[in-house]
Structure 1
Amino acid sequence: MLTLTTPIEMQRPPVLRFGAGTLSSFAGWVADSGFKAPFVIADSVNAARLELLGLGDVRCFGDVVPEPDIPNLNAAVIAAKGADLIIGFGGGSAMDLAKLVAVLAGQDMAFGDISGPHRAPARTVGLVQIPTTAGTGSEVGTRALVTDPETMNKVATESLNMLADVAIIDPDLTVSMPAFVTAATGVDAMAHCTEAYTSKRSHPIIDAYALQGIELVGKYLRRAVDDGSDVEARNGLALASLYGGVCLGPVNTTSGHAVSYPLGTRHKIAHGIANALIFPHTLAANAASVPEKTAKICAALGFEAGSDQAVLAGARAFCEGLGLDMSLRAYGVPEDDLAAMASEAHAIRRLLDWNPVDLSVADIEAIYKAAY
């Protein structure tokens, strides 16, 4: 854990617009900025509601898939040829692809030339991020993940050149999310905050964002699941997601995301639900190492910490109370794949090296078995 005497650097989009109705300002910003060829990166759901952007007949790559891979990225780059502004419009998958497309657009480079830390070149096009879910916080980040289909591993790319010029967070866009998606993405936002809060490189500045993000999820997620039109709850979750994104930059996630990644890459389980399935187990596994912070997390979610088993039971009950089936079996994960998944997760050292507890391959396999 870092202290107030430890230097830290935080990066944000230079313009961040938050609040109900803020999307209405977007078309004016595009016109005032002089962009003539905007291009949207979206999934099929958001590609069907492009009129909300106010840009008229705008070009779009609307084939973003959950857990996007390199071929999906390459198709988006080809489709975006000639664009001078890239717009990520959707959840984390669309916004991650938008970051990568923005740095590859107009460049004679492939993904392999920019993947990893600090290799992406300066952009020659603009970049705007507009989230339609409340979970990833990708709109304020400099990191993007895509799956390499040959290795089935997520490849992380990070660069200040992938930071958006503008992020518009309009909670009205999330009102149409189904209850299941609301629940899963809300737990994802909470996982970002929780893992940053308990990380070995947690910092008091980031802790403030992280704890408030967890508290917002504890207060508003069940309300939004029960009533999707609850505007206050939708705003609260959008803010929690934003705070989670702030946490990702200088601190990032740890074991929860590392253990959840194989669920997405190997079995195509959406990122939000994958994190929800793993969250109670890694929270409990880390509890004894960070007891005071664990107690605050549990209190924010409405239960007492107590023993590791009490933490596991309380966190699982919180997720089940959102209507989530919390067994891996329910999502088609084969039991005979758990050992291979554990080895794969254990190799994600960029996350696990910062976990408060050193989890072995056997520890991770035990988590999968307990979650099965």
Structure 2
Amino acid sequence: MDSPITIIRPDIIEFGVGTAERLGKWASDKGYARILVISDAFNSTRVETLGLKGDITVFADVTPEPDTANLDKVLAAANAADAQLVVGFGGGSAMDLAKLAAVLAGSSQTLREVVGPNKVHGPRRVALAQVPTTAGTGSEAGIRALVTDPKTMAKLAVESIHMLADIAVIDPALTFTVPARTTAATGVDAMAHCVEAFTNRKAHPMIDLYAIEGTRLVGKYLARAVKDGADAEARAGLALASLYGGFCLGPVNTAGGHALAYPLGTRWHIAHGAANALIFPHVLAFNTPSVPEKTRAVMDALGRKTSDDVQSVFDAAYSFCADLGIEMKLSALGVPDSDLDAMADDAFAIRRLLDNNPRDLARADIRSIYEAAY
């Protein structure tokens, strides 16, 4: 309670089924006539749902786990469009690239010069809007963006208040078409943001409120949404959980779970949500001795009763993910056991997250977790 904390959120957050078109009215009221929408191939086909008017350019080539080459293409499109408003329309990849385009297009700064916290020169020249189409990353609410360096296979993280959206429009109806497998994985990603913040060394009562409620929402609604993608109440619950997870990322951030999940994406292109789900029970159980009461609260929020035994926590967390149809073995995802050492080296180097973990994760611990997950 005695630790200072700063809470940063978009000025305007529109939430609810049918709110997507409100972005168009907001943009028109602001007088934005040149608009760049950064999206993936699927979502680029439904840009009209945003109700935008004017000279609209759509970049439709966002890739999962985007790398620096994908960012270069986005920046070329942004410079050509000379937009007054940049819109991230998609999952976390589209929204992260939109953040970077908003601050780097037309700037003298390069990506390498802004990697890290608070290195972006402001003020931003263009407006930024975020419209998520999955319920997982919470990127619409945050000030961080990540891209992969293909040479080192490491995530490059940029953090800046200048990447905060002017408006976030969260319409759960946009997630109705997300397949069951993706719904499950992204839902666990949202939950992992909340759980890792809740059990974090930097945990704070002001964020705990969002973290535990986000976890509860996932526990209540994720299985329902996986079973019936058109369940509007369940989709809204997950969208809210994702938003709350985004609130957790700014002042507290994630910890060991995400650090161990990242090499799965950068080295083997496993979707971020799926990687987090596979790792989640292992790190939660590992951390239990350091945060037993909070771990119990997490499992209660997920609707899973456990004892104080670490194995009980692991079994309950594992079954929560596996029951959603998520693949829980590295070997089944095509990761060779010969790469576990390199993955452990990569994860151990992610100090910005590991230093948040409530229990020290040595390199040997990380290697053991990968072996157990294999």
| Fold shared by both chains (TM-score > 0.5) | yes
The alignment partner of 1:155 has SS state of strand
Residue 92 in 1 paired to residue 92 in 2?
yes
Residue 69 in 1 paired to residue 71 in 2?
no
Quote the Cα distance in structure 2 between the aligned partners of 1:349 and 1:230.
Answer: 40
2:301 paired residue number: 300
Per-residue deviation, 1:304: 2.1
Note if contact 1:21-1:170 (Cα within 8 Å) is conserved in structure 2: yes
Residue 15 in 1 paired to residue 12 in 2?
yes
Quote the Cα distance in structure 1 between the aligned partners of 2:47 and 2:169.
Answer: 15
Per-residue deviation, 1:6: 2.2
Residue 50 in 1 paired to residue 51 in 2?
no
Quote the Cα distance in structure 1 between the aligned partners of 2:197 and 2:25.
Answer: 36
Note if contact 2:25-2:52 (Cα within 8 Å) is conserved in structure 1: no
1:315 paired residue number: 317
Q: Please say which of residues 105-114 and 250-259 is displaced more in the overlay.
A: 105-114
Residue 25 in 1 paired to residue 17 in 2?
no
1:262 paired residue number: 263
1:341 paired residue number: 343
Residue 227 in 1 paired to residue 228 in 2?
yes
1:356 paired residue number: 358
Q: CA deviation digits over 1:47-104, x for unaligned, max 9?
A: 1211212226721111111111111101100011211111000000100000000001
Quote the Cα distance in structure 2 between the aligned partners of 1:61 and 1:156.
Answer: 22
Q: How many equivalent pairs are there?
A: 369
Q: Please say which of residues 110-119 and 167-176 is displaced more in the overlay.
A: 110-119
The alignment partner of 2:327 has SS state of coil
Quote the Cα distance in structure 1 between the aligned partners of 2:56 and 2:278.
Answer: 38
Note if contact 1:142-1:249 (Cα within 8 Å) is conserved in structure 2: yes
TM-score by length of 2: 0.97
Matches within 5 A, 1:112-191: 112-122=112-122, 123-191=124-192
Quote the Cα distance in structure 1 between the aligned partners of 2:341 and 2:324.
Answer: 29
Note if contact 1:276-1:319 (Cα within 8 Å) is conserved in structure 2: yes
* Percent identity for Structure 1 against Structure 2: 59
Quote the Cα distance in structure 2 between the aligned partners of 1:110 and 1:298.
Answer: 43
The alignment partner of 2:156 has SS state of strand
TM-score by length of 1: 0.98
Note if contact 1:87-1:129 (Cα within 8 Å) is conserved in structure 2: yes
Quote the Cα distance in structure 2 between the aligned partners of 1:76 and 1:296.
Answer: 42
Backbone CA RMSD of aligned residues: 0.9
Note if contact 1:182-1:224 (Cα within 8 Å) is conserved in structure 2: yes
Q: CA deviation digits over 1:84-132, x for unaligned, max 9?
A: 1110000001000000000012213321122211011221011000000
Quote the Cα distance in structure 2 between the aligned partners of 1:275 and 1:367.
Answer: 13
1:101 paired residue number: 101
Per-residue deviation, 1:29: 0.8
Matched residue type, 1:66: P
Quote the Cα distance in structure 1 between the aligned partners of 2:164 and 2:151.
Answer: 28
Quote the Cα distance in structure 1 between the aligned partners of 2:33 and 2:230.
Answer: 35
Quote the Cα distance in structure 1 between the aligned partners of 2:345 and 2:108.
Answer: 36
Matched residue type, 2:133: T
Note if contact 1:105-1:125 (Cα within 8 Å) is conserved in structure 2: no
Residue 110 in 1 paired to residue 110 in 2?
yes
Quote the Cα distance in structure 2 between the aligned partners of 1:97 and 1:297.
Answer: 32
Matched residue type, 2:21: S
2:208 paired residue number: 207
Gaps of 5+ in 2: none
The alignment partner of 1:154 has SS state of strand
Matched residue type, 2:66: P
Alignment match of 1:38 (pick from 28, 35, 39): 35
1:59 paired residue number: 57
Quote the Cα distance in structure 1 between the aligned partners of 2:27 and 2:69.
Answer: 29
Quote the Cα distance in structure 2 between the aligned partners of 1:369 and 1:359.
Answer: 15
The alignment partner of 1:63 has SS state of coil
Quote the Cα distance in structure 2 between the aligned partners of 1:106 and 1:343.
Answer: 37
Matched residue type, 1:312: F
The alignment partner of 1:49 has SS state of helix
Matched residue type, 1:107: S
Per-residue deviation, 1:360: 0.8
